Amino acid sequence: MSSAPLDLFRPSSTLDSDSLSKKITLLGTINSVKAILQLEKSHFNFSNEIPITTVHQIAHNDVYYWGTTLLEQDLDTNPAAKFNLIYPASEAHIAKYQKHPVHMVVETPEAYEKVVKPYIETQKGDRLQWVRNILYHGVEKERVVFKNDDYILLPDMKWDGTTIESLYLVCIVFRDDISSIRDLTEDDIPYLKRIKESILVEVPKKYGIARDQLRLYVHYQPSFYHFHIHVVNASYGGLGQTQAAGKAILLGEVIETLRLLGKKGYKGKSIEYGLSEGHDLWSGMKEYAN
Amino acid sequence: MSSAPLDLFRPSSTLDSDSLSKKITLLGTINSVKAILQLEKSHFNFSNEIPITTVHQIAHNDVYYWGTTLLEQDLDTNPAAKFNLIYPASEAHIAKYQKHPVHMVVETPEAYEKVVKPYIETQKGDRLQWVRNILYHGVEKERVVFKNDDYILLPDMKWDGTTIESLYLVCIVFRDDISSIRDLTEDDIPYLKRIKESILVEVPKKYGIARDQLRLYVHYQPSFYHFHIHVVNASYGGLGQTQAAGKAILLGEVIETLRLLGKKGYKGKSIEYGLSEGHDLWSGMKEYAN
């Protein structure tokens, strides 16, 4: 295989830098051609011997000591970091990895009708062909975890499929008349409760996790406009903003809110959420910023 | 100062291991006395030269290359990790650092009256003295960011006070009749809107961040039972579960929900949330698990 010419990478700017996950994404060039280099520190991996080589104590107060250390590292069993290189990198790659500020917007029923609903219409059709492929044409059928008349359940693409600590499944419903929670009303409560109960029964059967250790939620805005439910290990905190208030809404909370909203359903509610400047809706929703 | 005897630390078990933040918390002994050692990888810190020393490419597909690397490290400018040592560690320390599974519970109005309200009563009085010290006795007054007749705003203890990327403030209100959102009704809507608007005006003045880039939310269950609002940079994803649906509720959403709940307010609503096995409420709330 051809080798990543990492030694020729010349950084020009930082696309993203995340101090929580210790990950940095750099834009640069290799032989004057654009490239993106992502570096992420590795997690600790040792059994008995702690791989500390040198200690520098910064301070000490009562029973508390803190400072910095150097660590053993070797490429096979204990690398310091992993890298991802995209070379050559297209403008689309760069746009994808560029971090955009998030703005809080309040989507009133009017904003939904005027800005969001027309946008959603442009996201149907061919854009959802991959969903129909899964639902009706058996694509990815070897990945399906469970299927009944209401929905198909499969592992999220971000999950490795085995680590229960970070379990992440997606439930895609067969009904195609629900683009988002905006299309739900109190009439859908029995339907949603049936799906919720089924997920809480089927996932524990397959993965041996307790039903009350599953966190079920939907996104608004979702990343695609065919109703789906995220199913994750309730103890897992590694999903960042995709799980945050202002993006995720518990399925149980959706059902409770539908009780209050009555016949009009979510179409009658103002919904506040975080919207990235990189999202297609930002230009239209700007005037509804918090 | 006395030196952390890190070289004498003998690990016996792992209390917590977080692959997202690359942090590991070990229980062990130093000279047969219990100690807790926490190690966390450091974030990347370099200006021009990328500190890669050795590269091992794992695979290559089209424009994508990935693999592992070794990194330069030195104690002063580029340590590999930071450490925190607690020695000797008490049973309370160990309980605090031990990771507990999270369960989703549905707190019905009945569960609130029967289990949660009596618990909250035990959390008042002396337990809230530190809040009264801030509000009325000028403790931490050099940290106060803004103060008016409704509230005091100060940096959260988890924030370094300068990095806008991870800005995190806490707004503590003067009213002492709101232990949690359960005590809010539609009568409080003007009050909450006034506070929300004031925060969105004052924080940008002080920190130069746009008002729509602030995410305002409350916790349920909160960590202390005197009403307070979390104010964070909307773009920051590093707060894990403390920001997740099932723990955090946007202040704007609280106000919207109060409109729907009317006179009874949040006392009339079922609230679903994640509860750690380590929380005092878990034994009582167990029967309301999802």
The lowest-confidence range among A161-165, A231-235, A245-249, B202-206 is A161-165
Residues B130 and B195 in one domain: yes
Q: A30 forms bridges with which residues in the sheet?
A: A33
Residues A190 and A277 in one domain: yes
Residues A109 and A231 in one domain: yes
Whether residue B151 has pLDDT greater than 60: yes
Categorize the per-residue pLDDT at A19 as very low, low, confident or very high, splitting at 50, 70 and 90: confident
Residues B106 and B92 in one domain: no
CB contact under 8 A, A87 and B63: yes
Residues B153 and B77 in one domain: no
Which residues of B are part of a known binding site for substrate?
Answer: 130, 140, 156, 158, 219-230
Q: How far is A239 from chain B (nearest CA, A)?
A: 7
Residues A46 and A181 in one domain: no
Alpha-carbon span B118 to B184, nearest angstrom? 18
Total number of domains in chain B: 2
Alpha-carbon span B53 to A170, nearest angstrom? 40
Query: A218-221 long-range CB contacts below 8 Å, 24 or more apart?
Result: A218/A181, A218/A248, A218/A249, A218/A251, A218/A254, A219/A247, A219/A248, A219/A249, A220/A180, A220/A181, A220/A182, A220/A247, A220/A249, A220/A271, A220/A273, A221/A116, A221/A180, A221/A273, A221/A275, A221/A279, A221/A281
Residues 180-199 of B with CB under 8 A from A: none
Dihedral of CA atoms A62, A68, A70, A73 in degrees, nearest 10, equals 100
Residue A272 belongs to domain with CATH number: 3.30.428.10
Give whole-number Cα distances, B164 to A13, A26, B39, B205, in Å. Answer: 19, 20, 25, 13
Residues B55 and B132 in one domain: no
A230 is in an annotated binding site: yes
Residues B79 and B182 in one domain: no
Query: Which domain, by its residues, includes A169?
Result: 100-288
Least Cα distance to A239 among B186, B237, B69 occurs for: B237
- Any domain includes A1: no
Asked, as a colleague might, if the bond just before A88 is cis with ω within 30 of 0, I would say yes
Separate counts of helices (H) and strands (E) for chain B? 7, 14
Check residue B237 and give its pLDDT: 82
Helix (H, G, I), strand (E, B) or coil at A62: coil
Asked, as a colleague might, if the bond just before B11 is cis with ω within 30 of 0, I would say no
Alpha-carbon span A187 to A191, nearest angstrom? 8
The H or E element spanning position A147 is: strand A146-147
Whether residue A1 has pLDDT greater than 60: no
Nearest CA in chain B to A34: B63
Give whole-number Cα distances, A254 to A182, A227, A259, in Å. Answer: 11, 13, 9
Q: What tens digit of pLDDT does each residue of B273-285 get?
A: 999 998 999 999 9
Domain end point (choices A53, A75, A96): A96
Categorize the per-residue pLDDT at B269 as very low, low, confident or very high, splitting at 50, 70 and 90: very high
Categorize the per-residue pLDDT at B1 as very low, low, confident or very high, splitting at 50, 70 and 90: low
Whether residue B154 has pLDDT greater than 60: yes
DSSP code at position B112? I
The predicted model gives B17-35 an average pLDDT of 93
Calculate the average pLDDT of chain A.
94
- With beta carbons less than 8 A apart as the criterion, state whether B83 and A66 touch: yes
The predicted model gives A140-150 an average pLDDT of 94
Q: How far is B145 from chain A (nearest CA, A)?
A: 21
Check residue A202 and give its pLDDT: 98
The lowest-confidence range among A42-51, A188-197, B258-267 is A42-51
CB contact under 8 A, A274 and B215: yes
The lowest-confidence range among B132-141, B156-165, B217-226 is B156-165
Q: Which of A41, A237, A244 sits opposite B248 (nearest CB)?
A: A244
- With beta carbons less than 8 A apart as the criterion, state whether B225 and B120 touch: yes
Least Cα distance to B279 among B228, B229, B202, B220 occurs for: B220
Q: Token pair for residue A268? A: 């009658």
Check residue B191 and give its pLDDT: 98
Contacts of A256 in chain B (CB under 8 A): 269-270, 272
- Any domain includes B1: no
B43 catalytic residue (yes or no): no
Alpha-carbon span B104 to B279, nearest angstrom? 13
Whether residue A47 has pLDDT greater than 80: no
Domain end point (choices A45, A75, A96): A96
Residue with the two structure tokens 């008002």: B211
Alpha-carbon span A5 to A83, nearest angstrom? 12
- Any domain includes B75: yes
Residue contacts between A and B (CB atoms, under 8 Å): 318
Separate counts of helices (H) and strands (E) for chain A? 7, 14
Contacts of A269 in chain B (CB under 8 A): 256
Residues B172 and B254 in one domain: yes
Q: B33 forms bridges with which residues in the sheet?
A: B30
Domain end point (choices A46, A66, A96): A96
Cα-only R_g, chain A: 23
The lowest-confidence range among A41-50, A142-151, A261-270, B223-232 is A41-50
pLDDT higher at A163 or B144: B144
- With beta carbons less than 8 A apart as the criterion, state whether A4 and B55 touch: yes
Check residue A182 and give its pLDDT: 98
- The per-residue b/e assignment along B22-40, b for 16 or more CB within 10 angstroms, e otherwise, is bbbbbbbbbeeebbbbbbb
- Any domain includes A169: yes
Query: A64-68 long-range CB contacts below 8 Å, 24 or more apart?
Result: A64/B84, A64/B85, A64/B86, A65/B3, A65/B4, A65/B83, A65/B84, A65/B85, A65/B86, A65/B87, A66/B82, A66/B83, A66/B84, A66/B85, A67/B4, A67/B82, A67/B83, A68/B42, A68/B75, A68/B79, A68/B80, A68/B81, A68/B82, A68/B83
Pair type for strands A248-250 and A81-86: unpaired
- With beta carbons less than 8 A apart as the criterion, state whether A115 and A284 touch: yes
The predicted model gives B245-272 an average pLDDT of 97
Q: What tens digit of pLDDT does each residue of B51-81 get?
A: 999 999 988 888 989 899 999 999 888 899 9
Residue A32 belongs to domain with CATH number: 3.30.200.40
Q: Token pair for residue A233? A: 């290990």
Whether residue A72 has pLDDT greater than 90: yes
Check residue B160 and give its pLDDT: 83
The predicted model gives B86-109 an average pLDDT of 93
Percentage with pLDDT > 70 across chain A: 100
Q: Which of B212, B243, B274 sits opposite A290 (nearest CB)?
A: B212
Residues A42 and A126 in one domain: no
Residues B273 and B156 in one domain: yes
The lowest-confidence range among A32-36, A91-95, B253-257 is A91-95
Helices B251-261 and B189-207, axial angle in degrees (round to 10): 170
Q: How many CB atoms lie within 10 A of CB A37?
A: 24
Categorize the per-residue pLDDT at B20 as very low, low, confident or very high, splitting at 50, 70 and 90: confident
Handedness of CA A118, A119, A122, A128 (dihedral sign): negative
Residues B134 and B268 in one domain: yes
Residue with the two structure tokens 């070990």: B26
The predicted model gives A80-89 an average pLDDT of 95
Q: How many CB atoms lie within 10 A of CB A119?
A: 16
